Amino acid sequence: MHVIDRYLLRQFVQTFLICFLSLTGLYIVLDLFTNIDQFLRCGRKAGGVLAFIAQYYGYHAILFFNITSGMLTLTSAMFTVAWIQRHNEMTALMASGISRIRVLVPIIIAVAVVSLLSAANRELVIPRYRNEMSRRPQDPLGDMPQGLSSCYDCQTDVVFRGKATFADHLRIEEPNFLLPAALADYGKQVIADNAFFVLPEGDRPGGYRFEGVREPKDLAHQRSLALNGKAVLITPRDAPGWLKPDQCFICSDVDFEQLNGEEGAKNFKELSSTARLIAAVRNPSLGYGADVRVKIHTRIVQPLLDMTLLFLGLPLVVTRESRNVFLAMGMCLVVTVGFTLAGFGLQHLGDIELIDASLAAWAPLMIFVPLAVWLAESLWK
């Protein structure tokens, strides 16, 4: 690695870190002081206010990196190029016979590395801590009641209803699940004091464990009910090892977060790995539509979109040889906003099924890659 390569990389990394830490700090300050009462309450309950705040925003800083990394890489690259042009370093390098593209190689590699780190963050880190990242600042512990939107299991025809949900213990208060006619041998509803979401473990299926069952009456002595050969309502008589007399179990592949309506669906799309999104599309219980398919394709093409945005922005700064850093940042902003709006617009068309989900995600590449190639031709001089 040459001296100029190390110099450009150092300048890029410094700019990226300064921008990221500044934006993250601004976000934390605004969010914290807007919801300070909740953080004080939860901090005392958790055993330490400062430790709780640090933990909460530590998780959300990871999520914030995922949201801002694409914009910050372009900003850092533009600033680095504008900086060396401001001090005539680009002119000196070109006068010595070095092409523009050779000078920019370390910046291009740095952007590619950050894009891949962001992809790894989306697929490996965020899904692991998605429960912590899904907590709202108005309810950082997840111990406040949230409204439960009626949810339908497309596989079993069970309708999920209840008074409220509590994210900290994956609990539904006063659940009232409506059973289909094929499972209404003992009554049309299962009503209890609480229901807890349970992940599958060993031979035990996943679903909701009801505690303090009030209806149907005398359910503890009844047989379990199945639909198409698959158990749906499991009673204590058939599972005495893990169900008490006042409990029952409804098997379902509908996750707890799906019960929180649009917010839960949004968190699921943003915080789940691509593999889990693919599994959700194939899950007959969930009935996900085109929006999740668009998200899957967008995840796949995101690194390519990041590099396309870079090659759209760099030629605008390099070929002008402008020494005005603020003008370079303005151009960066215009390019980023235009590219982002075009991407969001096409994704929305895919979400509402006006165009195919794959086309909605890949169309920005079809539109902007030829333009980026044409603009990048000047970099080889």
Token digits of residue 355: 């165009």
Full-model pTM: 0.78
On the question of a cis peptide bond just before residue 284, with omega within 30 degrees of 0, the verdict is: no
pLDDT in tens, the chain (381 residues): 577 878 888 989 999 999 999 999 999 888 888 888 888 777 777 778 888 888 888 889 999 998 888 888 888 888 888 777 777 777 677 777 777 777 788 888 999 999 999 999 999 999 888 878 877 777 777 777 787 777 878 788 888 888 888 887 888 999 998 888 888 888 888 999 999 998 888 888 888 999 998 888 888 888 888 888 888 898 888 888 888 888 889 988 888 877 776 666 677 778 888 888 888 787 776 767 788 888 889 999 999 988 888 888 877 777 655 556 667 667 767 877 888 888 888 888 888 888 888 888 899 989 888 888 887 777 676
Residue 70 CA to residue 113 CA, distance in Å, equals 11
Give the pair of three-digit tokens for residue 363.
């169309």
SS3 172: strand
Write down the domain spans for the chain.
3-137+289-380, 156-252
Q: Is the dihedral of CA 288, 118, 315, 15 positive or negative?
A: positive
Q: At what angle do helices 3-34 and 36-46 cross, to 10 degrees?
A: 90
CB atoms within 10 A of CB 92: 12
Span between the terminal Cα atoms of the chain, in Å? 22
Q: Under DSSP, is residue 247 helix (H, G, I), strand (E, B) or coil?
A: strand
- Per-residue model confidence (pLDDT) at position 208: 92
The answer to whether the beta carbons of residues 60 and 133 sit under 8 Å apart is: yes
Query: What whole-number distance in Å separates Cα of residue 270 and Cα of residue 102?
Result: 37
DSSP code at position 124: I
If we measure between CA atoms, which residue out of 212, 176, 207 comes closest to residue 193?
212
333 burial type by CB count under 10 A (0-12 exposed, 13-18 middle, 19+ buried): middle
